[in-house]
Amino acid sequence: EAGVAQSPRYKIIEKRQSVAFWCNPISGHATLYWYQQILGQGPKLLIQFQNNGVVDDSQLPKDRFSAERLKGVDSTLKIQPAKLEDSAVYLCASSLIGGGKQFFGPGTRLTVL
């Protein structure tokens, strides 16, 4: 069974530039999560989707971050414009249902200079 796929694995940008991350969840998983993991900390939820609807985006900085999950499968997370404090690993996870076991992708390490 294929796992959660993410790309790119690494990205380096200048502050005020824009960047986008892509996630393909495990086939059949209805729930998709984006987490931000700052160095030395545990991951924190940015946004949770159930199929193509948003369940929770209360911690998403909506002035610069946006996310979508078209057709309830793949998802993209965008940052525009990026700030230095956005440097982190962005993890995508999926589960069959909310509350079920979450399976994580390899993450994207973002460095903002």
Partner 1 sequence: AQTVTQSQPEMSVQEAETVTLSCTYDTSESDYYLFWYKQPPSRQMILVIRQEAYKQQNATENRFSVNFQKAAKSFSLKISDSQLGDAAMYFCAYVNQAGTALIFGKGTTLSVSS
Please report, as ranges, the residues that interact with partner 1 according to CB under 8 A.
31, 33, 35, 40-45, 48, 55-56, 89, 91, 93, 97-104, 106-107, 109
The CB-of-16 to partner 1 minimum distance in angstroms stands at: 26
Residue 81 or 106: the one with the smaller Cβ distance to partner 1 is: 106
Q: Give the residue ranges of DSSP H helices in the chain.
A: none
Amino acid identity at 48: Q
Residue 105 backbone class (left: φ over 0; alpha: ψ -120 to 50; beta: rest): beta
Distance CA 46, CA 36 (A): 7
The CB-of-79 to partner 1 minimum distance in angstroms stands at: 19
The CB-of-106 to partner 1 minimum distance in angstroms stands at: 5
